[in-house]
A and B are shown apart, each in its own frame.
Chain A
Amino acid sequence: MTLILDHITKAYTDGPNEFKALDNASLEVKAGEFIAIVGPSGSGKSTMLSIAGALLSPTSGKVLLDGENIAGLSSKEVTKRRLDKIGFVFQAAHLVPYLKVKDQLNIIQVLAKKGKKHGNDLLAHFGLKHRMNNFPNELSGGERQRVAIARALMNDPQLILADEPTASLDSKRGQEVVKLLADEIKNRNKAGIMVTHDERVLSFADHIVTIRDGKIE
């Protein structure tokens, strides 16, 4: 198992009340598996993704990434895990506005202090080589999301997390992007989780997990 979320609860206090964004939720994802998390707004799916991505620590429960519980690590260690083991594809791509496409990928290597830059191979693989000297504002929405997927693969992570990857795309582009994501996860034997509202792309997932009021159904 690449990722095990074991009885995760995330509670927030709201005045005198306690509010559970996630209530005793468990999930397992193995290498080569692509899971879609669906549910209404405020159901806790973003919280789930943030905990899986080591951006948020759970109130209780264990997060085992590659066999290691990352729930109790220091923030410095957690940052390092994100850099080494997790790839993110954000809503609206979230590319850095002042970096050319090739540097969007190279920044990952710079942060990881790894010398060899294999960004060009990835760009060629994604059919973006002719765009490598363009800035994000010169790309189409689909191209931006492809760059974001390439960036997520840059550090050769075990886990890829996608937050609403189709939110800013029309349905055709959205399907293309999710298909690409699913193919990469399969071919590279990564574990993948995607949070989405978009029912048209669910067919690309191996499993669909529905969350309602912080509970997995």
Chain B
Amino acid sequence: MFLAIRELLFAKTKYILIGLIMVLTASLIFIISGLAQGLSSDNASAIQDLQADALIIEEEAEGEIGNSFIPADEREKMIEAQGGNNNASTLAIRMMNTTINDADQQIDIALFATERNGILMPDVAEGMFPQKADEVLADATLKQEGVRLGDQLQVEENTSYTVTGFTADQRYSHTPVVFISNDELEQFNAVAVQGEANTDGSYEVITKETALNGIPSYSQEQASLNMMIIFLYVIAAFVLAVFFYVMTLQKREQFGVLKALGAKSMYLIRGLIGQVILLSLISISIAVVVTFGIGALFPADMPFTLELETMLQPAIIIIVVSTIGAIVSLYQVIQIDPIEAIEGAAY
């Protein structure tokens, strides 16, 4: 690294410029990752964080919870088959419009109906656990719509619920989830099971992953964002590959001299790879700071989740693809002949 570091310092401008491109690309990768993460939770955190390992749905539903309809009188039999209420709960999901305390404004919510004391009821973050049939636990993002503890949520003509508590991170299909008791429902969508699920064949067992992909628009949303991220990885690799390729071509004569003086190809290659990794590391570190800065400017209700752990994976991928990009130049370095240092000797 003796040569590599001194060259970076000497040719500052070139390396700062290429570093800037890397910072921008890495920032974009982090921001889109944050957006993908945020949209994913916004769309499905209620399913991702569901206190269950598997879901039993109708076979005809083809993996989509919303298409599965099981009559309410099957409930007891099915719960019993899974070992009782400590192992399984039913789940019914309905997308509804609601108004708060008879105001005019309509809000979209997702009603999750389940057994009041069943395994699916999330923990209370604020307020009290619902006790009566018309008391409900609501996702805390409803507070942004002006909902307070004790407020009435009017759904349909003559049904209204009282919010007694808020819970965290329960969103479904980009709307806040409200947990209600399932006492009066005629049908439900699925039975959620902790541990191994047993079925007699007329039902299908799906994982939470499958259930996620069955949420309308979930996989399309994630796929398009992931495609952008993959393209950015490829762009980062190409930009660095071309830059270091041209740099290596420019340094041809100099590499010839160094080889004539006794430098091994391996030494020069280590320097090159070292430069790529150093450049990527510094660019990524700056990009992390930039991304957190930009993230702080986003409005609070924007679905954007940024955590250092989730940035680690893209960071490692950027370093790996950058290094792969540099491999194009390695061949150049290897095939430079030290004879090029002597004018007129190479034929």
Binding site for B on A (CB under 8 A): 12, 21, 41-42, 46-47, 49-50, 53, 55-56, 76, 79-80, 82-84, 88, 90-91, 94, 96-99, 103, 106-108, 110-112, 135, 151, 155, 163-164
- Min Cβ gap A33→B in Å is 21
Most B CB within 10 A of own CB, among A96, A99, A151, A164: A96
- Give the 7 A-B residue pairs with the shortest CB-CB distance, closest first: A83-B262, A98-B10, A46-B345, A50-B345, A46-B344, A94-B257, A110-B2
Is B347 interfacial (CB 8 A cutoff)? yes
Question: Which one of A53, A98, A155 contacts B260 once the chains associate, using CB atoms below 8 Å?
Answer: A53
Are A47 and B262 in contact, with the CB atoms below 8 A? Answer: no
* B3 neighbours in A (Cβ, 8 Å): 96, 98-99, 107
Are B343 and A111 in contact, with the CB atoms below 8 A? Answer: no
Binding site for A on B (CB under 8 A): 2-3, 6-7, 9-11, 253-254, 257-264, 267, 337-339, 341-345, 347
**Which B-chain residue is minimally distant from A86 (CB atoms)?**
B262
Are B259 and A41 in contact, with the CB atoms below 8 A? Answer: no
A50 to B337, CA, bound (A): 12
Are B343 and A163 in contact, with the CB atoms below 8 A? Answer: yes
Are B339 and A56 in contact, with the CB atoms below 8 A? Answer: yes
Are A96 and B254 in contact, with the CB atoms below 8 A? Answer: yes
A151 to B260, CA, bound (A): 13
Are B260 and A46 in contact, with the CB atoms below 8 A? Answer: no
- Min Cβ gap A36→B in Å is 16
A53 to B341, CA, bound (A): 11
* A21 neighbours in B (Cβ, 8 Å): 347
- Min Cβ gap A118→B in Å is 17
**Which A-chain residue is minimally distant from B338 (CB atoms)?**
A55
* B6 neighbours in A (Cβ, 8 Å): 98-99, 103
A9 to B7, CA, bound (A): 40
**Which B-chain residue is minimally distant from A109 (CB atoms)?**
B2
Are A12 and B10 CB-contacts (below 8 A) given A79-B262, A96-B258? no
Are A96 and B342 CB-contacts (below 8 A) given A80-B262, A108-B262? no
Q: How many residue pairs bridge A and B at CB < 8 Å? A: 86
A83 to B260, CA, bound (A): 8
Are A88 and B10 in contact, with the CB atoms below 8 A? Answer: no
A49 to B257, CA, bound (A): 15
**Which A-chain residue is minimally distant from B340 (CB atoms)?**
A55
Are A111 and B261 CB-contacts (below 8 A) given A96-B3, A98-B6, A135-B10? yes
**Which A-chain residue is minimally distant from B263 (CB atoms)?**
A111
Question: Which one of A41, A82, A90, A98 contacts B342 once the chains associate, using CB atoms below 8 Å?
Answer: A90
* A12 neighbours in B (Cβ, 8 Å): 347
Are A47 and B260 in contact, with the CB atoms below 8 A? Answer: no
Are A56 and B345 in contact, with the CB atoms below 8 A? Answer: yes
A39 to B237, CA, bound (A): 50
List 20 additional contacts besides A108-B261, A111-B262; criterion CB under 8 Å.
A21-B347, A41-B344, A46-B343, A46-B345, A50-B342, A55-B338, A55-B339, A56-B339, A83-B261, A84-B262, A88-B341, A91-B343, A94-B253, A96-B257, A96-B258, A97-B254, A99-B6, A103-B6, A111-B261, A163-B343
**Which A-chain residue is minimally distant from B253 (CB atoms)?**
A94
Can you list 18 A-B contacts with CB-CB less than 8 angstroms, sorted by A residue number? A50-B339, A53-B260, A55-B339, A79-B263, A88-B261, A90-B257, A91-B343, A94-B253, A96-B3, A98-B3, A98-B9, A98-B11, A103-B2, A106-B2, A111-B262, A112-B262, A151-B261, A155-B262
Are A82 and B2 in contact, with the CB atoms below 8 A? Answer: no
A47 to B345, CA, bound (A): 5
Are A49 and B263 CB-contacts (below 8 A) given A12-B347, A90-B257, A98-B11? no
* A79 neighbours in B (Cβ, 8 Å): 259, 262-264, 338
- Min Cβ gap A216→B in Å is 17
Question: Which one of A94, A111, A112 contacts B341 once the chains associate, using CB atoms below 8 Å?
Answer: A94
A41 to B343, CA, bound (A): 11
* B253 neighbours in A (Cβ, 8 Å): 94
- Min Cβ gap A39→B in Å is 12
Most B CB within 10 A of own CB, among A50, A112, A155: A50
Are A107 and B2 in contact, with the CB atoms below 8 A? Answer: yes
Are A49 and B342 in contact, with the CB atoms below 8 A? Answer: yes
**Which B-chain residue is minimally distant from A81 (CB atoms)?**
B262
A47 to B6, CA, bound (A): 33
* A84 neighbours in B (Cβ, 8 Å): 262
* B347 neighbours in A (Cβ, 8 Å): 12, 21
**Which A-chain residue is minimally distant from B255 (CB atoms)?**
A96
A50 to B346, CA, bound (A): 9
**Which B-chain residue is minimally distant from A83 (CB atoms)?**
B262
- Min Cβ gap B336→A in Å is 12
* A110 neighbours in B (Cβ, 8 Å): 2
* A91 neighbours in B (Cβ, 8 Å): 342-343
Are A97 and B10 in contact, with the CB atoms below 8 A? Answer: yes
- Min Cβ gap B10→A in Å is 3
* B264 neighbours in A (Cβ, 8 Å): 76, 79
* A82 neighbours in B (Cβ, 8 Å): 260-262, 338
A164 to B341, CA, bound (A): 12
- Min Cβ gap B8→A in Å is 9
